[in-house]
């Protein structure tokens, strides 16, 4: 009994003696962890309040100021565009224009005797354009113009011998039909497109011409293109360029081409129209336009110092006092990039080149004495600073960085007018000239925000002349492949292997946005998480390559 009593009396004292140190140690550890977490939280609050919040507040102020500048510019262009439309201020009413009447059934050689028809050079630069070379050459050879007053020049920089043979054979076929078509090649690709166009102007037959029409390899002008554009140059000696509008053969190929159509329709209907109507200036689109050759020569000819040789020439011609006309009624069929890789390369070239040209020409624009102060302001402020720099930077930093980060920093709040009213107004102004596609606006917003990261990097590369500043990648065309019936789909089948299609920067940014959205959902006091979640998904979709047309590698 004593043993049992001792045992029974031992047991209650044994457990406290054995487990109390463990409990005490665990409690101390938990208290230590809690104290450490509270200290970390206190340090985070201090750093957030003293360092992060002021920087974020400054970034917010700068972004809001830039968004206001962008809104004012877009609103002004939209008002001008609508006024031109409703007042019917077409180019043929603002400038002298008389039709060139050539009876199609008559011999075009005889027509040149009856009319002072100018000599026209048609240039078609191309590089390994196996899918589309027949389209552009055939369309150029089908232009209605006296055959003894037109020269068609195919500038082939192809490096693929098979493609070169095919293009040369196509030129020979048209030459056998009586067309003045010339197949020209170079020993190198120096200057890329600008170098090819410059070299093409040096041939003796080219120097006989008064005007030059330029078409990229996928562009197909209608037969009356020259009849409708050249008269502006013939009867208005101050006009140096007539630009036609792009029309697309594959706008419904996939969701990405639909979004591109919305963006480019706005560019032509609003930006080009407004610039042409008020300042008689806009950026040459590099194709589907007719230049007065003397304007090119006076401006200094083609230069290859940037990847936007077309804009470079246009700005230099503008500084010499030449006027430009945009003719929206004349449309030229072309192909939209339908693969994400091709579209990204194109956007990098356009965005980086424009920013780099701004860097190179700002001083020249300021010191020139041949144009008015208002045209200088328009060039430097509206054309370059707001549209080529601010538009790309504010889209990314405000809507993809500042707004998401603000949910982690409660000391900084984004005003509702900056996060809702201004972007909504800008979106509506972008859609007002294309109401039939307004149901694609949500996809347009999300995709453009994703692309803003790509354009932001390209803008900074161009401004600071680093990295891929002079990288020229020809936009891939699919030609006849785009004629197949498109499949209605939101997520597109990826066209490359896993390693080739994945873009780590977009995926990483998707993870960041997802974290911000979760923090806002569980701890925030607003509804930003709805937008941030959607934007996170968009970055992830693009990062995984599920955007654009599927192209079989077989």
Element housing 120 (H / E): strand 120-126
3-state secondary structure of 121: strand
Give Dmax over CA atoms of the chain in angstroms: 139
Spatial CA neighbour of 340 closest among 131, 554, 552, 542: 542
Pair 275, 326: CB distance under 8 Å: yes
Residues annotated as part of the active site: 157, 310
Q: Which of 284, 277, 247, 269 shows the shortest CA–CA distance to 78?
A: 269
- Other beta carbons within 10 angstroms of residue 305's beta carbon come to 15
Q: Cα–Cα distance between 389 and 62 in angstroms, integer?
A: 13
User: What is the distance of C-alpha 383 from the center of its chain?
Assistant: 15
The residue among 398, 400, 396, 394 whose CA lies nearest residue 512 is 400
Cα separation of 344 and 475, whole Å? 9
Query: Given its phi and psi angles, is residue 208 left (phi above 0), alpha (psi -120 to 50 degrees) or beta?
Result: alpha
Alpha-carbon span 226 to 500, nearest angstrom: 43
62: tokens are: 């700068």
CA atoms within 13 A on the CB side of 296: 25
Question: Distance (Å, rounded) from C-alpha 414 to C-alpha 417?
Answer: 8
């Amino acid at each position: 009994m004593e043993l049992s009593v001792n045992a029974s009396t031992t047991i209650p004292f044994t457990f406290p003696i054995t487990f109390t140190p463990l409990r005490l140690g665990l409690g101390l550890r938990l208290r230590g962890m809690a104290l450490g977490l509270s200290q970390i939280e206190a340090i985070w609050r201090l750093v957030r309040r003293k360092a992060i919040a002021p920087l974020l507040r400054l970034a917010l102020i700068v972004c809001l100021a830039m968004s206001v500048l962008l809104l004012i510019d877009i609103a002004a262009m939209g008002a001008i565009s609508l006024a031109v439309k409703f007042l019917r201020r077409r180019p043929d009413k603002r400038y002298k224009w008389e039709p060139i009447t050539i009876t199609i059934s008559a011999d075009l050689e005889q027509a040149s005797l009856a009319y002072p028809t100018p000599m026209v050079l048609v240039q078609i630069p191309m590089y390994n354009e196996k899918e589309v070379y027949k389209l552009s050459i055939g369309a150029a050879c089908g232009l209605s113009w006296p055959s003894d007053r037109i020269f068609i020049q195919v500038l082939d920089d192809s490096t693929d011998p098979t493609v070169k043979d095919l293009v040369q054979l196509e030129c020979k076929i048209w030459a056998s039909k009586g067309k003045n078509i010339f197949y020209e090649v170079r020993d190198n690709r120096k200057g890329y497109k600008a170098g090819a166009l410059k070299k093409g102007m040096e041939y003796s037959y080219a120097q006989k011409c008064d005007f030059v029409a330029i078409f990229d390899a996928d562009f197909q002008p209608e037969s009356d293109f020259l009849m409708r554009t050249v008269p502006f140059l013939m009867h208005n000696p101050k006009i140096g360029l007539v630009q036609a509008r792009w029309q697309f053969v594959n706008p419904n190929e996939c969701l990405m081409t639909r979004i591109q159509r919305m963006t480019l329709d706005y560019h032509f209907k609003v930006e080009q129209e407004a610039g042409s109507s008020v300042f008689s200036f806009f950026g040459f689109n590099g194709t589907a336009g007719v230049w007065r050759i003397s304007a090119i020569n006076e401006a200094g000819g083609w230069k290859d110092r940037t990847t936007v040789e077309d804009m470079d020439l246009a700005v230099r011609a503008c500084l010499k006092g030449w006027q430009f006309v945009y003719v929206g009624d004349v449309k030229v069929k072309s192909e939209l990039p339908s693969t994400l890789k091709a579209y990204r390369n194109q956007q990098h070239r356009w965005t980086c080149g424009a920013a780099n040209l701004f860097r190179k020409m700002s001083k020249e624009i300021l010191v020139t004495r041949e144009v008015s102060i208002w045209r200088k302001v328009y060039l430097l402020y509206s054309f370059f600073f707001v549209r080529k720099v601010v538009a790309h930077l504010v889209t990314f930093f405000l809507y993809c960085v500042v707004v998401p980060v603000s949910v982690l920093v409660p000391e900084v709040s984004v005003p509702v007018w900056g996060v809702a009213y201004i972007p909504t107004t800008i979106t509506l102004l972008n859609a007002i000239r294309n109401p039939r596609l307004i149901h694609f606006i949500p996809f347009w917003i999300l995709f453009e925000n994703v692309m803003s990261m790509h354009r932001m990097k390209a803008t900074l590369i161009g401004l600071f002349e680093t990295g891929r500043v002079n990288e020229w990648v020809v936009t891939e065309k699919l030609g006849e492949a785009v004629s197949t019936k498109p499949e209605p789909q939101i997520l597109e089948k990826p066209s490359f292997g896993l390693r080739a299609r994945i873009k780590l920067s977009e995926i990483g940014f998707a993870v960041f946005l997802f974290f911000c959205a979760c923090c806002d959902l569980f701890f925030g006091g607003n509804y930003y998480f709805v937008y941030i979640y959607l934007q996170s998904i968009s970055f992830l979709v693009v990062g995984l390559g599920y955007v654009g047309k599927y192209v079989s590698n077989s």
